Structure 1
Amino acid sequence: MQSQSAQWDTDVVVAGAGPAGLMLAAELRLAGAGVVVLEQEDRPTAESRGMGFTARTLEVFDQRGLLPRFGELNRSPGGHFGSVPVDFAVGDGRHASVTGISQARTVVALGEWAAELGADIRRGHRLTRFTDSGDGVEVWAEGPDGEVRLAAPYLVGCDGGRSVVRRTGGFEFPGTDATAELLLADVRDLQLPPKWSGERRPGGMLLAAPLGNGMTRVVVSEHGRAPLVRTGPPAFSEVAEAWKRVSGDDISGATPAWVSSFGDAARQASEYRRGRVLLAGDAAHVHLPASGQGMNVSIQDAVNLGWKLGAVVNGRAPEALLDTYHSERHPVGAELLRNTRAQATLFLGGPEMQPLRDVLTEVFRGEEAALVLSGLVSGLEIRYDVGSEGHPLLGRRLPDVQLVLDDGEKTRSTRLLHPARGVLLSLGSDPEPARIAARWAPHVDIRSAGLADAAPADGETVDAEAVLVRPDGYVAWVAGSGSLDTALHRHFGEPTG
């Protein structure tokens, strides 16, 4: 699993060792590509804005066998949309998210996994500049021992909202600037009643969330206070003073572990790829961190990109496959900005927004509305254009169903994706799909199985004789809907046999 050409130092350089960069590095290694990750910080951060996983991210981790690395997982039955309560466990409960897993813990788990797979993660290396010659990219970084130069076919910026890759690469980043600032602190030695979805006072908004191990997260925003231009985090005294102005309570005696600030800026790169340079995660989209979507969408960006970029650098797929990264993930990012902007209006608005909140509280109690909102936030309702139509599963995630393989072994559909290869899942008696897919071995696994429960309680099933599943878990072809040969060429390039 080495670089394909002696002229390159590696196949892909990734800037940033956050959740997106580390997930991408691991996916690239699974796809057979060499990868160097450049991270300016010396060690993984202990700071965590993200505090859990949406339902789709849970499935993505399950597809790679990662869930045991996070220990016990607790699904949250509640939730809110812009501070208006929503039951995200509505119906069968599969849209519910997991809470209590910090972003810092996620970074450690993903970093260990990527390193085990052979990713070269270089901490203390700050990317300073790069050039794209059209045939490859030259990257320069400042490291502990001076300047480092790397040459690779591709560079991916996963370096956050202030992305050097995005700015240096000339990517347009349209959107809106922040209109409000929220101060955040994770503190010890503080007893406060939980305010999970925020509590409004005449002067602003307060949020308090217990994080476990004696830690509490407090967030405060003051109405009418313009965001400051900061070069570093605020002092905890600033958070405590704002909290007292809004609530009247004194929290200055708490012990801060981490202090930060954020706003409601909403911007998205106009394109996720320019030549040999691509963007993923916060480098591609910034927004108010609402409903825990930011880290989760970033991880899913990486999973969409990883198998495609790996196939291209190893010559298994045409470069045009990379264009589907933008065409599939850019609409997801646009929807992310749309719903977080809506949530910002509800969450940060003053008393003039209360009548709307009251009305929406009643509306969101309805199951239909709750399902729509939970689908937006969970990521389970994403549908990609995979080049053909005609079946409800096309372009959607493969449901997590129980299977009985042809040798009698029982398994779940997510386990078939652990190797990060394509899967031709045959659920009927027609041998033709398996015969066609065999020409793409070993990049497409062929599995024959039956459904352990044709009518599961949650209503999710695979109503098809055969399906072709991409490495990221999305269905690229269904028997009776278009040509399997065409779908295999589109997603896996030329056959190998």
Structure 2
Amino acid sequence: MDYDVTVAGAGPAGLMTACELALGGARVVVVERLTEPDPTIKAGSINIPTAQALDRRGLLPRLAEAQRRTFEGFDAFVRDRREAAPDKGEPVRMAPRFAGHFAGLMLRADLVDPDDPAFADVGPAGEVGLVPQQEIERILAARAAGLGVTVRRGVELTGFDEDADGVTVHLAASDGGPAGAIRSGWLVGCDGGRSLVRKLAGFDFPGTDPLITGHQALVDLTGAEALNTGWNRTDTGVYAYGPLPGRILTVEFDGPPADRNTPVTAAELETSLRRVSGADVTVTAVHTATRFTDNARQVTSYRRGRVLLAGDAAHVHSPFGGQGLNLGIGDALNLGWKLAAVVRGRAEPSLLDTYTAERHPIGAWVLEWTRAQILLMRPEPRADALRRVVGDLVATTTGASYFTRRISGVWQRYDLPGDHPLTGASAPDLELADGRRLADLLHGGRGLLLDLTGDPAVKALADGYGDRVDAVTASCPARPDLAALLIRPDGFVAWAAATDATERPVHQLPEALSRWFGTPAT
């Protein structure tokens, strides 16, 4: 084999998958058609699970710096707005990172219940969210280079042959010339919504057809003083202006675009913005632009033989609510350590069955979440009535808290065996007595058995897993209710024990260790 795994696509999902594979000891190569990172405007924020995932790999300072630059852009937008239209130069007050909007209905952060237990113990990752996708790609590209991941740009996957022992990936240069082939044990398709890997492998991809044409762009324009900031619903569609200088978004409900492949022009953006907003604006330059629809589809299984999918290759949907980037990072985090364990012989291939079982339900929820928003934004009387009902709901503490929990991703958990309420949930970012946070103990991408009471029986059960699980004894004064946690490399709790349990379930720990980390070494 040339490599253990070939990853097709160097977007966030592909780079994160490659990083997790390399961290787990796999030899990985990424092939990418584009010669340079894609500068097209995309997602503008991350949710709490994504921030926690990157924090658990030591990347929180880079996220904080990227968010600082984002706020500088917000400040510039406010200054430009005040200069261009003093009567409309209202401050742009950004809500905390876990707030957002649902179908353009803004969630007031001050209405969110501050004592909601869903937001407890998320740690400093909960303060970092306004990080654009381009920044995430830069951070992950640098991390991949640091981990020794081979990234071949300007090389396009044109086909592959799978057999019992591996996959032969056929490549061509972006200019059409030959680029040879790669032999690897596994192929992971992270090649976007129009994934060639998905099509060639024969994955079923059911879903719903698109109803809208959307545009998002960064432009220079005149007449912007006639636009309202934020999200605006009109009789002809939806538009948004800000919170970055020149950022516009339009949604029209007249069906999908006739051609999604041609470059987006200034005239196209100007026509759409005028039609939806009614403002006499002129687009004088386009810095970056994209079209999108609400095509919503998801593969029925994320694996077929030695081929797996992650990110948009596995599911497509509209961008409303900013879930796509986060969903792809979550896929990569879940798949990477499992596939690395299989490659390195620490686990049976059956471990990969849990990838679809755990990630498919979350992907299905995202599709439903985005479909609901499309219906709520439609410019017609029935949607008007429903929108007023939902608008009243999000204006309450209960409603704002519910929608914020869903958008932030703190509700996400996996259905894992065990009775403790933390089992299957993302691990709380505990502050330990020695000054460390739990996230600090996960930088190496290994499992973690955290003993908070010094129970010798717990530590003894970790014998034989020293090459894949870190056994740490510490104390956490803020959580006297917790006795011990077994945490998977992706940060999710596989087993937990409470201090007040009548019978501490230590007998369940060997099963959890075996399930996720294989047979102990002798």
The normalised TM-score by structure 1 is 0.91
Quickly say closer, same or farther: Cα 1:225–1:171, change in 2 above 3 A.
closer
Equivalent position SS for 2:436? strand
Q: C-alpha displacement at 1:463, in angstroms?
A: 3.3
The residue type equivalent to 1:64 in the other structure is: R
Whether the 8 Å CA contact 1:438–1:446 is kept in 2: the answer is: no
Distance 1:489 1:385 in 2: 17
Q: C-alpha displacement at 1:279, in angstroms?
A: 0.3
Residues 405-436 of structure 1: per-residue CA shift (max 9 Å, x gap) = xxxx3111111111110000001132111111
Q: State whether structure 2 residue 338 is matched by structure 1 residue 308.
A: yes
Distance 2:485 2:358 in 1: 20
Q: Among 469, 478, 483, which residue is 2:487 paired with?
A: 469
Distance 2:226 2:132 in 1: 21
Q: Which shows bigger deviation, 355-364 or 415-424?
A: 355-364
Distance 2:461 2:267 in 1: 66
Q: C-alpha displacement at 1:251, in angstroms?
A: 2.7
Q: State whether structure 2 residue 201 is matched by structure 1 residue 166.
A: no
Q: C-alpha displacement at 1:240, in angstroms?
A: 0.2
Quickly say closer, same or farther: Cα 1:324–1:195, change in 2 above 3 A.
farther
* Equivalence for 1:414: 439
* Equivalence for 1:379: 409
Residues 341-380 of structure 1: per-residue CA shift (max 9 Å, x gap) = 1111113443431221111111122233333322222222
Distance 1:166 1:222 in 2: 29
The residue type equivalent to 2:20 in the other structure is: E
* Equivalence for 1:3: none
Quickly say closer, same or farther: Cα 1:97–1:267, change in 2 above 3 A.
farther
Q: C-alpha displacement at 1:196, in angstroms?
A: 6.2
Q: Among 278, 286, 289, which residue is 2:308 paired with?
A: 278
* Equivalence for 1:5: none
Equivalent position SS for 2:180? strand
Residues 176-232 of structure 1: per-residue CA shift (max 9 Å, x gap) = 111111122211355458856521121221111232xxx322112234355323322
Q: Among 390, 393, 404, which residue is 1:360 paired with?
A: 390
Q: Among 245, 252, 268, which residue is 2:298 paired with?
A: 268
Residues 265-299 of structure 1: per-residue CA shift (max 9 Å, x gap) = 10000110001000000000000101111101101
Q: C-alpha displacement at 1:254, in angstroms?
A: 3.4
* Equivalence for 1:80: 101
Distance 2:509 2:256 in 1: 56
* Equivalence for 2:422: 393
* Equivalence for 2:32: 39
Q: C-alpha displacement at 1:24, in angstroms?
A: 0.6
* Equivalence for 1:4: none
Q: State whether structure 2 residue 113 is matched by structure 1 residue 91.
A: yes
Whether the 8 Å CA contact 2:269–2:283 is kept in 1: the answer is: no
The residue type equivalent to 1:200 in the other structure is: R
Distance 2:471 2:218 in 1: 49
Q: State whether structure 2 residue 510 is matched by structure 1 residue 485.
A: yes
Q: Among 446, 454, 471, which residue is 1:446 paired with?
A: 471
Distance 1:466 1:99 in 2: 30
Q: Among 460, 467, 472, which residue is 1:435 paired with?
A: 460
Quickly say closer, same or farther: Cα 1:361–1:36, change in 2 above 3 A.
same
Equivalent position SS for 1:65? coil
* Equivalence for 1:402: 431
Q: CA RMSD in A?
A: 2.0
Quickly say closer, same or farther: Cα 1:410–1:98, change in 2 above 3 A.
closer
Whether the 8 Å CA contact 1:14–1:36 is kept in 2: the answer is: yes
Equivalent position SS for 1:254? strand
Quickly say closer, same or farther: Cα 1:294–1:196, change in 2 above 3 A.
farther
Whether the 8 Å CA contact 2:211–2:253 is kept in 1: the answer is: no
Whether the 8 Å CA contact 1:280–1:301 is kept in 2: the answer is: yes
Residues 59-85 of structure 1: per-residue CA shift (max 9 Å, x gap) = 111100112223153684242111122
Quickly say closer, same or farther: Cα 1:261–1:326, change in 2 above 3 A.
same
Quickly say closer, same or farther: Cα 1:226–1:465, change in 2 above 3 A.
closer
Whether the 8 Å CA contact 2:267–2:283 is kept in 1: the answer is: no
Quickly say closer, same or farther: Cα 1:136–1:226, change in 2 above 3 A.
closer
Equivalent position SS for 1:307? helix
* Equivalence for 1:17: 10
Distance 1:203 1:350 in 2: 9
Equivalent position SS for 2:389? helix
* Equivalence for 2:251: 221
Distance 2:239 2:132 in 1: 21
Quickly say closer, same or farther: Cα 1:312–1:194, change in 2 above 3 A.
farther
Whether the 8 Å CA contact 1:15–1:157 is kept in 2: the answer is: yes
The residue type equivalent to 2:400 in the other structure is: A
Distance 2:230 2:296 in 1: 21
Equivalent position SS for 1:291? coil
The residue type equivalent to 1:393 in the other structure is: L
Distance 1:326 1:181 in 2: 31
The residue type equivalent to 2:311 in the other structure is: G
Distance 1:228 1:189 in 2: 25
Quickly say closer, same or farther: Cα 1:446–1:193, change in 2 above 3 A.
farther
Q: State whether structure 2 residue 94 is matched by structure 1 residue 62.
A: no
Distance 1:24 1:9 in 2: 18
Quickly say closer, same or farther: Cα 1:99–1:473, change in 2 above 3 A.
closer
* Equivalence for 2:367: 337
Quickly say closer, same or farther: Cα 1:195–1:156, change in 2 above 3 A.
farther
Distance 1:478 1:163 in 2: 39
The normalised TM-score by structure 2 is 0.87
* Equivalence for 2:218: 186
Quickly say closer, same or farther: Cα 1:9–1:72, change in 2 above 3 A.
closer
Equivalent position SS for 2:474? strand
* Equivalence for 1:237: 267
Whether the 8 Å CA contact 1:47–1:103 is kept in 2: the answer is: no
Equivalent position SS for 1:414? helix
Distance 2:269 2:426 in 1: 42
Whether the 8 Å CA contact 1:63–1:415 is kept in 2: the answer is: yes
Equivalent position SS for 1:400? coil
Quickly say closer, same or farther: Cα 1:429–1:147, change in 2 above 3 A.
closer
Equivalent position SS for 1:106? helix
The residue type equivalent to 2:494 in the other structure is: A
Whether the 8 Å CA contact 1:54–1:97 is kept in 2: the answer is: no
Distance 1:32 1:119 in 2: 11
Distance 1:196 1:26 in 2: 38
Whether the 8 Å CA contact 2:311–2:332 is kept in 1: the answer is: yes
Q: C-alpha displacement at 1:389, in angstroms?
A: 2.4
Distance 1:21 1:180 in 2: 28
Whether the 8 Å CA contact 2:219–2:283 is kept in 1: the answer is: no
- Within 5 Å, which residues of 2 pair with 1:109-120? 109-120=139-150
Distance 1:304 1:226 in 2: 33
Distance 1:227 1:146 in 2: 34
Q: C-alpha displacement at 1:46, in angstroms?
A: 1.1
Distance 2:225 2:358 in 1: 43
Q: State whether structure 2 residue 324 is matched by structure 1 residue 290.
A: no
Question: Structure 1 vs Structure 2: percent identity of aligned residues?
Answer: 41
Q: Among 27, 30, 41, which residue is 2:23 paired with?
A: 30
